Structure formats: C-alpha cells, structure tokens
Amino acid sequence: MLPFDVLLEYIKRKHCFDFTDYKRSSLERRVQHRMSQLGIENYSEYLSYLEDTEEEFTHLFSAIEINYTYFFRDRDSWDYLYREIIPRIRATKQPDEPIRVWSAGCASGEETYTLAIVLAEALGIEQFNQRVHIFATDVDDDALEKARQGSYSEREVTQIPPHLLSQYFKQSNDRYQFRKDLRTAISFHRHNLVQHAPMSKIDLLVCRNTLIYFDVDAQTKVLVRFHFSLKDRGFLFLGKAEIVPSQLQLFKTLNVNHHAYTKLPKEYLSPHLFIKAFKRPR
Ligand SMILES: C[S@@+](CC[C@H](N)C(=O)[O-])C[C@H]1O[C@@H](n2cnc3c(N)ncnc32)[C@H](O)[C@@H]1O
C-alpha cells in the first residue's frame, strides 16, 4: 500500500472518516499543505504525528474540508429559485401541505439561512412558518455548531441585501442573529452524504459546492441517493461548477446556467446504479 493510502486507512479506522471517495489530487494537495505548515516532509512521518497528537485530526479535517461559504452566493441563482422553482413547488401542492427542503453540505449555515429567506419571501412569513421544514446537514461539527447559533458578524452579512438583513436578522452590538420565529423551521444534523442514509420525501434539495469534493463514483452514488430523496418531480439545485451527467438518466435539466434540475421518473433509473449507490461499504 502507498504511504498516502496507509494514512487514509488509519484515519478510517481511528476516526471513522472515509476520505477514499474524495478527489485524490486535491486531497493530497491539502494534506501536503497541512504537513508543510508543520514542517513535515513525508506521509509516514505525518502519520506518526497524527497518532501522537490528539488535536491534530481536527486541524487536518479543517484543512481538507473547505467550508468556504457566504450568504446569497451566486445571487442570480437565488433569484431564479425565487421566480421559477418555488412557484412550481407551490403550484403542485394543497395550500396547507408541508414543503420539505434539504440543504446538504450547509457548512456554517449561510446557505441554509439564504434558502429560508428566499422561501419566506416567496411564500410569506405565515406560510413559511406553517409549511416549511428545512433539514440542513454537513459532516463538519464545528461548522454545524456555528450554523445552529445563527449568529454572524458584520463582515459575514455584507452580501445580504439591506432590506432583507433588517427584516430577517436582529442586530445586537456587532452581531446579527437570524430571526428566532423562523429558526424553528430549520434543523441542523451531522450527516455524511456518502455514508449515511439520505433524507426522504424532499421537495427541494439544495446541494451547492459540495459534490466537487468527490470523485466521479462518489458523485454518482450521491446523485442516485438524491434521486431517491426527492419526491416525484422534486427539484435539485446544484452549485455553479456542478452538473448531473445526462447519461445517468436521473434528472432533467431545467436551467443550465443555474444548475437546476427536476427528478426523472424512477422507471428511467438503472437498477444497477441503485444497488451500487446503496451498497454498504465493507
Ligand atoms: C464549500 S462548502 C459549501 C457550502 C455551501 N453549500 C455553499 O455552497 O456555500 C462544502 C461543504 O461540504 C461539506 N462536506 C464535505 N464532504 C461532505 C460529506 N461527505 N458529506 C456531507 N458534507 C460534506 C463540507 O464540510 C463543507 O461544509
């Protein structure tokens, strides 16, 4: 086994985190960056350091999991969601029917709260409170803790249009707290997209700038799981750099620029792909 694989095996055994599905070149680059910060030159030496230093896994994890995010990232795509997708979800439902949303790879919550604001603007506060539930998930515990707090600095909220900032956040000194009455519609959970069972009966699945971490096999596996998660004719909203390969026959493209998709009926899905996506790792 190559020294880098020995390192990945150790992490899997000791910390129950499997990085083998991640893109190899960027993973190696990030681990090497962490090693250079410590002045360590090879993987074997780094493995010994990891074994001996209790807090090192947290540093390594932060170096690998880039949680870069901000409110209203790719603003025009959120406008598209507001104008085109949410009205379509609304049109297919009874006025009091729940709307289930999954924010997957939510990092420190900026995307999830953006989603909540866009939904509340489109549906109205009352409808939002009565009907919407947002499941927000990520693998990074520190990011999730920040997301649960829903409190952001002045610098972090600069991308929020001022009228929405004053409507959806309460300012206290130099912090901005997301509205408590809308916060109850959102629950944050630790969830690994490659390893854990997916959510179900979802109307809208937002997973942006997260699939790019995974290699092609893992991306396919996650997309098949997303297909399972969504209700018939549910919507998938990916990041600007992410696409669903059309040969997978999982989703129909609604808008190429905004990476918006709708679920194709399950009859199109190859049983082989389905079995592969849900097979338990040995
Ligand atoms: C670049 S951030 C994207 C945040 C936000 N979605 C956005 O677009 O601004 C990627 C997030 O994916 C999460 N992530 C990486 N691997 C994951 C996995 N296997 N399961 C769930 N989340 C994962 C990381 O922890 C990180 O918070």
Distance between CA atoms of 230 and 102, rounded to whole angstroms? 9
Residue extents of the structural domains in the chain:
3-64, 75-276
175 forms beta bridges with 153, 172
Distance between CA atoms of 76 and 84, rounded to whole angstroms? 12
The pTM assigned to this predicted structure is 0.87
19 forms beta bridges with none
The 3-state secondary structure of the chain reads CCHHHHHHHHHHHHHCCCCCCECHHHHHHHHHHHHHHHCCCCHHHHHHHHHHCCCHHHHHHHHHCCCCCCCCCCHHHHHHHHHHHHHHHHHCCCCCCCEEEEEECCCCCHHHHHHHHHHHHHHCHHHHHHHEEEEEEECCHHHHHHHHHCEEECCCCCCCCHHHHHHHEEEECCEEEECHHHHCCEEEEECCCCCCCCCCCEEEEEECCCHHHECHHHHHHHHHHHHHHEEEEEEEEECCCCCCCHHHCCEEEEECCCCEEEECCHHHCCHHHHHHHHCCCC
CATH superfamily of 75-276: Vaccinia Virus protein VP39 (3.40.50.150)
Least-confidence region, from 126-140, 199-213, 234-248: 234-248
Tens digits of per-residue pLDDT, 152-173? 999 999 999 999 999 999 999 9
Distance between CA atoms of 118 and 208, rounded to whole angstroms? 16
Ligand 1, atom 10: closest residue by C-alpha: 210
- Can you give the pLDDT at residue 275? 83
Pocket test for ligand 1, best of 134, 138, 193 (most atoms within 8 A of CB): 138
Tens digits of per-residue pLDDT, 39-96? 999 999 999 999 999 889 888 988 887 788 999 999 999 999 999 999 999 999 999 9
Find out whether the beta carbon of 192 lies less than 6 Å from any atom of ligand 1.
Answer: yes
| Confidence class for position 282, pLDDT limits 50, 70, 90 | low
Find out whether the beta carbon of 138 lies less than 6 Å from any atom of ligand 1.
Answer: yes
Ligand 1 geometric centre to CA of 95 (Å): 33
